[in-house]
């Protein structure tokens, strides 16, 4: 299972809405005879890739897989059928499939006479697909709200400028985090004021080959020549002010992880709706004294009602401090 977990964690995969999955096939004498991992929606599932690698040696084999084998036809066929056709007689999996559409594989295999064991290193498998699992259980994308603020809690100066609050090191770090998501999200006013690109770029400011969707939320019309609508990545207008509606639409587009980059108005709307699942704040050692608050009104009027973060990481990034936590 540790080998299967390593395969699942292969960097750069999967591309698209699917989880990371790895599989090792052990032949009748217990030696590995094939292995595989999932590369992204529409490509072979890990079990099918491992079976292809094992060939005839899959007959009588044990499949060790990080996620319960799927039992549905999506873009590809059910792994339960592929395992049985290949003659696999035992299946050991880590995490039960939280995807309602694809679950039931363990039960189906057991009913067909396959020896099935679940839950082996389940926590490690879950950790690998933390965001995807959350999204599947809630049937909506996981939301990370990231913002950069001065020490006195400002995200822009009074004239609207915010380039830059955080240091180059922090901004490189942000691009690393952007790359982990499948959707960038900002409000219409950030597009109007900042004209952001919202792409994922490397340390030399070059766009990476795979880009998240760039979503802009709000009702107003925006000029077509804003950079967020250029051809560097896909763009989407979410013509709503309702965070639930926006996430539902993104879910329809098979989005699992939204990276909300502001501004303060949109961020407040998501916080008030209880739809921020992770906060990443970069605190820059700068003072503005006036300007835009890092987040707009949250309806909190007294200290005991302050929203508190359960902090799981505090790191120094260049001259800034990065705080990560859950509300």
Ligand X SMILES: NC(=O)C1=CN([C@@H]2O[C@H](COP(=O)(O)OP(=O)(O)OC[C@H]3O[C@@H](n4cnc5c(N)ncnc54)[C@H](OP(=O)(O)O)[C@@H]3O)[C@@H](O)[C@H]2O)C=CC1
Ligand Y SMILES: Nc1c(N[C@@H]2O[C@H](COP(=O)(O)O)[C@@H](O)[C@H]2O)[nH]c(=O)[nH]c1=O
Residue numbers belonging to the annotated binding site for substrate? 162, 178, 198, 201, 261
76 three-state secondary structure:
coil
How many Å apart are CA 26 and CA 24, to the nearest integer? 6
For the bound state, the minimum distance from the C-beta of residue 130 to ligand X, rounded and expressed in Å, comes to 24
The question of whether 47 is a catalytic residue gets the answer yes
- Element housing 322 (H / E): strand 320-326
Residue 288: count of CB within 10 angstroms of its CB: 18
Q: What is the DSSP-derived secondary structure letter of residue 56?
A: G
Rounded least distance, CB 193 to ligand Y, Å: 8
Q: How far apart are CA 317 and CA 319, in angstroms?
A: 6
Candidates 9-17, 66-74, 80-88, 154-162: pick the segment binding ligand X (CB under 6 A): 154-162
- DSSP-based three-state secondary structure for 172: helix
- Residue closer to ligand Y, measured from CB, 42 or 153: 153
Closest CA to 284 of 174, 194, 199: 174
Site map 228..247 versus ligand X, x via CB under 6 A: -------------x------
Question: Nearest CA to 8 among 91, 75, 67, 60?
Answer: 67
d(CA 170, CA 286): 14
**188: partner contacted, choices ligand Y, ligand X, none (Cβ within 5-8 A by kind):** ligand X
Query: What does the DSSP 8-state code read for residue 40?
Result: B
Terminal CA-CA length for the chain: 34
Q: Is 218 in the site for ligand Y (CB under 6 A)?
A: no
Q: Least distance from C-beta 156 to ligand X, angstroms?
A: 3
147 interacts with ligand X by CB under 6 A: yes
Contacts (CB under 6 A) with ligand Y, residues 250-289: 261-262, 282
Q: Does 106 contact ligand Y by CB under 6 A?
A: no
Given the residues 47, 234, 278, 308, select the one marked as catalytic: 47
**Kind and range of the H or E run holding 90:** strand 90-95
Q: Which is nearer to ligand X, 68 or 194 (CB)?
A: 194
Q: State which of positions 175-204 bind ligand X (CB under 6 A).
A: 186-190, 193-194
Binding residues for ligand X restricted to 270-309, rule: CB under 6 A: 292
CB of 135 to ligand X, least distance (A): 21
- Residue 196 CB, shortest distance to ligand Y, in Å, is 3
Binding positions: 45, 70, 79, 148, 162, 164, 178, 190, 194, 198, 201, 261, 263-269
For position 69 contacting ligand Y by CB under 6 A, the verdict is: no
220 by Cβ neighbours in 10 Å (0-12 / 13-18 / 19+) ranks as exposed
Give the orientation angle of helix 79-86 with respect to helix 46-54, to 10 degrees: 20
Q: Select from 174, 181, 211, 235 the one that contacts ligand Y (CB under 6 A).
A: 174
Number of alpha helices (DSSP H) and beta strands (DSSP E) in the chain: 10, 15
Nearer to ligand X, 118 or 160 (CB): 160
Residue 145's binding partner, choosing from ligand Y, ligand X, none, with beta-carbon cut-off 5 to 8 A by kind? none
Largest CA distance in the chain: 71
From CA 210, how far away is CA 10, in angstroms rounded? Answer: 16
Q: Which residues bind ligand X (CB under 6 A)?
A: 147-148, 155-156, 160, 162, 165, 186-190, 193-194, 217-220, 241, 261-266, 269, 292
Q: Which residues bind ligand Y (CB under 6 A)?
A: 148, 162-166, 170-171, 174, 186, 190, 194, 196-199, 261-262, 282
Which amino acids are annotated catalytic?
Answer: 47
């Amino acid at each position: 299972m540790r080998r299967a977990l390593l395969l699942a964690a292969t960097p750069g995969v999967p591309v698209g809405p699917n989880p990371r999955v790895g599989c090792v096939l052990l032949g009748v004498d217990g030696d590995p005879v094939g292995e595989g991992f999932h590369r992204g929606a529409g490509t072979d599932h890990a079990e099918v890739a491992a079976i292809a690698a094992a060939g005839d040696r899959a007959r009588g084999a044990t499949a060790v897989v990080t996620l319960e084998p799927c039992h549905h036809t999506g873009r590809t066929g059910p792994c339960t059928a592929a395992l049985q056709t290949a003659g696999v007689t035992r299946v050991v999996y880590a995490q039960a499939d939280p995807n309602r559409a694809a679950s039931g594989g363990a039960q189906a295999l057991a009913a067909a006479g396959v020896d099935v064991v679940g839950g082996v290193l389940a926590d490690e498998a879950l950790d690998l697909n933390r965001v995807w699992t959350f999204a599947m259980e809630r049937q909506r994308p996981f939301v990370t709200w990231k913002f950069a603020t001065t020490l006195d809690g400002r995200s822009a100066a009074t004239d609207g400028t915010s380039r830059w609050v955080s240091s180059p090191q922090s901004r490189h770090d942000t691009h690393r985090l952007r790359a982990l998501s499948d959707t960038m999200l900002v409000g219409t006013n950030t597009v109007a004021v900042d004209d952001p690109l919202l792409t994922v770029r490397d340390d030399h400011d070059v766009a990476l080959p795979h880009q998240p969707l760039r979503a802009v939320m709000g009702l107003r019309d925006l000029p077509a020549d804003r950079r967020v609508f250029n051809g560097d990545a896909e763009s989407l207008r979410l013509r709503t002010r309702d965070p639930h509606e926006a996430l539902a639409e993104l879910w329809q587009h098979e989005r699992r992880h939204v990276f909300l980059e502001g501004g303060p108005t949109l961020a407040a709307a998501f916080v008030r709706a209880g739809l921020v699942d992770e906060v990443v704040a970069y605190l820059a050692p700068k003072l503005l004294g006036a300007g835009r608050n890092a987040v707009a009104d949250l309806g909190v009027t007294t200290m005991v009602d302050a929203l508190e973060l359960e902090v799981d990481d505090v790191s120094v990034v260049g001259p800034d401090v990065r705080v990560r936590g859950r509300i």
